[in-house]
Chains A and B, each alone.
Chain A
């Protein structure tokens, strides 16, 4: 079998702070195989972004410490790669899209200038050939008057248009892995649907793998083949999207789905989860969800590990271990 596009083993990341270190990532294992669309879902602060940013070497040096774990991209251990090699990887075999399309584009340069720079940096195309490639990428993203758009500045375009341009640019160098962190969170639902459809189609058509980060369970369920549910810097459940969301095995995943108003009876209160996420300066020793879990019991004082609960489906909960034991 070919090397996974991305493989993370036992990752721990902390941010040193005045009132103690923030233990943001607490032992995460995760992989993305070739052509796979993998989702990372969880609430704010669960470390979706820090996990992805660490993997791509994008956290500001000095601000954080990777205290354990290994990361390999396309079979290469990133710890052995120089900054130059990492830079070449990013924007080449690995591309990224973030939530705010506004800040990802340079406001003082036209779209055309920025697209040509990316294309020329990472391919042999020059001049008219590079320009044709830019137009082709924009057309793929359903941007009608592509020639005209090349002459425009980012502020002259809508958020949805900017995000489609960034996706087009991300595919400029035929990446093998695309990391998309909340790429549609700032967009209206109609625009979100369009952007998701185009991104999905383009990934499938080029065979690129996608690591897709979102807090939106519905978006994740429609977009991803396989997902990881994160809580307080840990993976609590993983497996095929339809299985995990259709038949959740971890109490946290189940409680999140129940808390959605989508199918709720307007006459009854919503099934909310009491309390809030744990403080990561002193992360819980046992199960991170213990303080909010209605099934918590004595065993939960020690930390549960991911256990098989079905084919390719895993959950980290003592209830499951006891059932399978």
Chain B
């Protein structure tokens, strides 16, 4: 572990039991995370991408410490008075509708230390200004605001306990393009000012390319490619990363939509595939793919695929 890592995940597994047999034992398990190793670098932004159901939000819950992994180790490299905060996709349902905005913003602080009202209000006013909200918003209620404004409130709330790490779970997917740009600029400014570490979960690759230093591509509860986002997105090595990048609609495309993909279904995470998890959908699958794959260091990335030519291990980020 290097000194500049703020959190480290080693071999994280997360299983959820489902169903019950006649003796009350689970009938099986949903394998949501299947061996995640990640080092989160201080002051940087790590993008996490992958299809719905691949385990992004479960990973966020493990990072937040609100779920204990079934297996594996989470190491936190910051003091007990600091914490990890989160901003969710849907600012409508993630904010307490019965509280005025100043209470919403200071909820994380109030939860750990009961401070006087005047002090909390002053803190809320500070943070509101920081995220570009006018002071008169403090006594209004979340439902009175637009989606973009609510997301500003959610960001102010996440900042209130002075966290080291903020998990952003699809924070702009519900927003319009013009508002998304405002929020992304705000996140960048706050990071520069406060040295925040972000874990940015998204399915929008162009946003990840713009915002993230590193990217981890997830498939069926595993990271299949991890590296500097510039390198990974410009020259993806894993067949799944390539498929994902090829599928993104782009304004620059010429020649229409191409051929229809034949298989877009994720394999079930109740019975994990033997061999490489991506085998069923992989056009390059061959003999070497019948065994589980490990991460192989290759140039500026780590890749979980037998066809990756290993090069001298290199540290992933600058």
A interface residues with partner B (beta carbon < 8 Å): 43-44, 142, 158, 160-161, 188-194, 196-198, 200-201, 215-219, 221-223, 245, 255-257, 259-262, 264, 266, 269-274, 276
Contacts and interface: CB of A to CB of B under 8 A. Distances in A.
Interface string B241-262: 0011011111111001111111
B52 interface: yes
A257 B204 CA distance: 16
A222 B257 contact: yes
B136 to A, nearest CB: 16
B177 A260 contact: yes
Contacts of A160: 264-265
A88 B203 CA distance: 40
Number of contact residues on B: which range applies?
35 or more
B181 A192 contact: no
A276 B148 contact: yes
B206 interface: yes
A190 B178 contact: no
Contacts of A222: 249-250, 253, 256-257
B249 A192 contact: yes
Contacts of A201: 260
B188 interface: yes
Contact of B209 (A221, A261, A270): A261
A269 B253 contact: no
Contact of A223 (B178, B205, B211, B257): B257
B212 to A, nearest CB: 9
Contacts of A257: 251
Taking each of B51, B258, B260, which has the highest tally of chain A beta carbons within 10 Å of its own beta carbon? B260
B260 A194 contact: yes
Taking each of B244, B256, B262, B264, which has the highest tally of chain A beta carbons within 10 Å of its own beta carbon? B264
A245 B249 CA distance: 14
Interface string B150-188: 000000000000000000000000001111111011001
Contact of A216 (B188, B209, B249, B256): B249
A276 B247 contact: no
A274 to B, nearest CB: 8
Given A44-B176, A262-B250, A269 B185 contact: yes
B65 to A, nearest CB: 28
17 contacts: A43-B178, A158-B265, A188-B264, A189-B205, A189-B247, A189-B249, A196-B249, A196-B257, A222-B256, A257-B251, A259-B178, A260-B206, A262-B250, A266-B209, A269-B185, A272-B185, A273-B182
